[in-house]
Structure 1
Amino acid sequence: GLGSHVLHLAPPPSGPGAGLEDPRTAALLRSLARRGPVRALVYGSTTGVYGDAAGARFDETRPAAPANDRAHRRAHAEQLVRAFGRRHGARAAVLRIPGIYAPDRTGGARERLLKGTPVLRAEDDVHTNHIHADDLARACLRALFLGRPQRVVHASDDTELRMGDYLDLAAGLYGLPRPPRVSRQEAAAVFSPLQLSFMSESRRLDNTRLKRELRLVLRHPTVAQGLLPGHPGGGASGAGS
């Protein structure tokens, strides 16, 4: 077989004409079915499958409500993975992953601050969620061996900040100017449609399953630790979601 424990982190195809389904995951699962058996399968999805939650805090029992084609493709991949687990007796777990940050990630907090990239003003701002890359890697490994069958888990840290507050925090830690604030209307003239889609969804994730079921002790519980210069693994950060 291809492997008894499979970690699937490949994103669906993107771009014009990509549609609402994920043929990449479908092809992988067909191959696994032919060349199994697979004991455990973990799929790295995205918290974008929830769409906008207006800042609500929720756990994994909240239904998915994808608001764009990209999120629909992720939701389709999740359905395929969980159906594969039921059909073939594999422990198929889905990690819903927010914004990943780490010192060497392109487009991180330090880079954004150095460029002077604006953020939404407080009255328009959205809640974002984060996970340090090192903690995410550990969550993936634990899900392979401890994940419950057909289970969804939020791979998110304990941070509860709006995007602008997150970058203000990073500015203070790095000794850089805070980012300028703009209205949502002004943002539409500055950011790409993809960037604007992230800025139109606000949610806060409960990560109890990550800690209780996968028994993960976060090395970077919040971005305040993970971004701190000199903190093990700390550094620049990618945008949350």
Structure 2
Amino acid sequence: MIATRKLRRARVLIAGCGDVGLRCAPLLTQRAAAPRVIALTSQPARAAELRAAGTTPLLGNLDERRSLRRLAGLASTVLHLAPPQKSGSDDLRTRALIAALSRPRRSVARMATAALGRQRAWRGWFRATFKRRAGATKRASIVPDRVSGAVVRRLPIRVVYASTSGVYGDCGGARIDETRRVRPDNGRAKRRVSAEMQLRRATRRGAMSASIVRIPGIYAANRLPLARLQKGTPALAAADDVFTNHIHADDLAAIMVLAIRRARPQRVIHASDDSELRMGDYFDRIADAYGLPRAPRVSREDAEAQLEPMMLSFMRESRRLKNTRLRDELRYTLRYPSIDDFLSGVMSGITTGITSEPATSRAK
């Protein structure tokens, strides 16, 4: 019975188990009837870290399709948190993951056939021992006599994909909801659109049931632009500044886990907090909370000459995300409705263990 319960235990696969994935793991495992959480990793050195987080590490690389063969039939639910590769307009990693998840799991049929053989052998021994007559009443069978398609057939895999709000491109500071047409401005966003389209097509053909969570800039105690502020990297002057959106990593992890049960197939959800900040104001709030000098402000023309391309790409896009579906459909209450709610804890000395990270720590 113990073995049977283990086999029946639900499984969740996390593809791309980085910082957010590690925050998702305890939310999945610390509840009644918790599923077994499997973390796909291409780095054997991370096995201990992943086990400590309550997951079972599985070695596989989304850039090497042959390493993904064990994913077929492995889990009924997938949190797809892996970013695309760094070049091209097609997300080859999502393509490889869909192919691996959609592949028929032949071992299911082999297991059923083997079980049927064992059952028939047991019946023969039982009849020989107790001299059962050929016309004796047939006993109920645990494993059916035929390995039909019904035995092998599986329900569509549930997939929640972590995309980016960058798929909208520059919206001129407009408030937008999830029905806004995508208009990616760079290769990074185009690859994200490619991933979304692949998952939509897989859902339409019945291979899976996918929902999409579009994510803006992610912040947390270990994901703040402190090094940028210490270095004195400039921000845009108020006249040229852009609206930017944010979400705390803990809120994001909770949203991803909740989306497994509550997000509709083919549905897009904005995982964004309630704030409407310009990028420079966001930097100023963090600088004030940590007692650092505010970032100097420069014109867009000067920024083009001084800043790296990654940061400039974020400074060319301005939009304000509506999160109505997050509240009404997922029925999620934000732990940190704005960066100010998080920083109030910092200023009160509640938040500890702060480390710095470049400001580009957003969904890419």
Tell me the CA shift for residue 3 of structure 1.
0.8
8 Å contact kept, 2:235–2:295: yes
Q: Match of 1:41, as an amino acid?
A: V
Residue 146 of structure 1: how far off its partner (Å): 1.0
Match of 1:181 in 2: 297
1:207-236 CA distance string (max 9 Å, x none): 011111111111011000123304568966
- 2:311 corresponding residue in structure 1: 195
Give, as a single letter, the amino acid of the residue that structure 2 aligns with 1:50: Y
Matches for 1:57-206 after TM superposition, within 5 Å: 57-88=175-206, 90-105=208-223, 108-206=224-322
Q: Report the CA distance between 1:174 and its aligned residue.
A: 1.8
Residues 60-89 of structure 1: CA deviation (Å, up to 9, x unaligned): 000000011111110010011122122126
Contact 1:102 1:233 (C-alpha < 8 Å) held by counterparts? no
Q: Tell me how far 1:126 sits from its aligned partner.
A: 0.4
AA at the equivalent of 1:170: I
Higher mean C-alpha deviation, range 83-92 or range 136-145: 83-92
RCO greater where, 1 or 2, for CA within 8 Å and sep 6 or more? 1
Distance 1:234 1:184, change over 3 A: farther
The structure having more radius of gyration, on CA atoms, is 2
Query: Which residue number corresponds to residue 80 of structure 2?
Result: 8
Contact 1:225–1:234 (8 Å) recurs in 2: no
TM-score, normalised to structure 1's length?
A: 0.92
Describe the shift of the 1:234–1:39 C-alpha distance in structure 2 as closer, same or farther (beyond 3 A): farther
Which residue of the partner structure matches residue 95 of structure 2? 26
CA offsets per residue over residues 48-71 of structure 1, 9 Å max, x none?
100000000010000000011111
CA distance in structure 2 between the partners assigned to 1:218 and 1:233 by the alignment: 21
Q: Which amino acid letter does the alignment assign opposite residue 241 of structure 2?
A: D
Give the stretch that moved more between structures: 72-81 or 229-238.
229-238
CA distance in 2 between counterparts of 1:136 and 1:2 reads 25
State the distance in 2 between where 1:189 and 1:41 align. Answer: 42
Contact preservation (8 Å) 2:102, 2:207? no
Taking the aligned partners of 1:102 and 1:198, their CA distance within structure 2 comes to 19
Count of paired positions: 236
Contact 2:243 2:276 in 1 (8 A): yes
**Structure 2: distance between partners of 1:182 and 1:68:** 24
SS, match of residue 84 in structure 1: helix
Structure 1 residue 39: Cα displacement: 3.5
Aligned 8 A contact 2:221 2:351 in 1: no
Match of 2:173? 55
CA-to-aligned-CA distance 1:159-210 (integer Å, 9 cap, x gap): 1000001111112222222110011111112111221111000000000111
Q: Indicate if the aligned counterparts of 1:41 and 1:92 stay in contact, CA closer than 8 A.
A: yes
TM-score, normalisation: structure 2: 0.62
SS in 1 for 2:312: helix
CA separation in 2, counterparts of 1:200 and 1:103?
26
Segments of 5+ residues of structure 2 without an aligned counterpart are 1-72, 106-153
- Indicate how the Cα distance of structure 1 residues 28 and 89 shifts in structure 2: closer, same or farther if over 3 A, else same: closer
The superposition leaves residues 26-45 of structure 1 with CA deviations (integer Å, 9 ceiling, x where unpaired) of 11001111146443101101
> Which has the larger displacement, 21-30 or 110-119?
110-119
CA root-mean-square deviation: 1.9
1:154 positional shift: 0.5
Q: Return the match for 1:212 from 323, 328, 334.
A: 328
The range that moved more, 212-221 or 110-119, is 110-119
Amino acid at match of 1:130: H
**Contact in 1 for aligned 2:159/2:208 (Cα 8 Å):** yes
Q: Which runs of 5+ in 1 are unaligned?
A: none
Quote the sequence identity (%): 56
